[in-house]
Amino acid sequence: MKRSVLLLTLAALAVAAPAFAQSDLGLKRIGGGIGIVDPEAANSTFQLGIVADHGTIAPHWGLESHLDYWSQSEDLFGTKNSFRDIALGARVKYHFVVANPKVQPFAGGGLGMHFLKAEVTVPAFGPFPATTASASDTKLGFDLGGGVGTPLSPKVDLIGETWFGVVDSMNQWSLRAVLSYKLGQ
């Protein structure tokens, strides 16, 4: 059993080695985005994010990291509910080869840590004082999505993308626009 696993691993490495030899990793681009997020347990709200493009791990396969934030509050009969999520993760994107270089479609997936917080504030009522309760949790999430990029100038790209994040009890769909700035040459 151990021998077959070792042989299978060596065979996979031999096939993948030429692709990884063509990798070009490093901080290539940095950008910021704004969009709309629709979380499962809250109403739609705005999302802000930062994206870092780390280059390619193989031909057509890019690696990026991201930091996203959204917060949503609602007030119902004096009771205030608020939710927030800070997500830090990495995604792998497959960039499709197309004839038009001004259109760069991609699809991808990734993992991220979601730092979730929920808070409820109930106002004072009669003899009862105002009360606040909160809960925080850190959960692993999986992202699946895609989009399209187009150059605005030799150094700036505009990217439109959508992602569905699978996070226990807080799944979320987002649609956003990102301006990405090329670093270096």
Tens of pLDDT, residue by residue over 21-36, are 577 888 999 999 999 9
Give this prediction's pTM: 0.79
pLDDT at 1 over 80: no
- Which of the four pLDDT bands, split at 50, 70 and 90, describes residue 7? low
Q: Give alpha helix (H) positions in the chain.
A: 2-21
- pLDDT at 3 (0 to 100): 63
Cα–Cα dist 122/81, whole Å: 9
Dihedral sign (CA 17, 19, 25, 30): negative
* SS3 call for 183: coil
Strands 61-76 and 131-151: unpaired
Q: Please name which of 67, 117, 109, 64 lies closest in space to residue 87, comparing C-alpha atoms.
A: 67
pLDDT band per the 50, 70, 90 thresholds, residue 67: very high
Does 53 have pLDDT greater than 80? yes
User: Using one digit for the tens of pLDDT, what is the confidence trace for 84-133?
Assistant: 999 999 999 999 999 998 999 999 999 999 999 988 888 888 888 888 88
Contact 174, 37 (CB under 8 A): yes
The CATH code that applies to domain 25-182 is 2.40.160.20
Q: Is the dihedral of CA 30, 36, 40, 162 positive or negative?
A: negative
Which residues are CB-contacts of 158 (< 8 A; sequence separation ≥ 6)? 149, 150, 151, 152, 177, 178, 179, 180
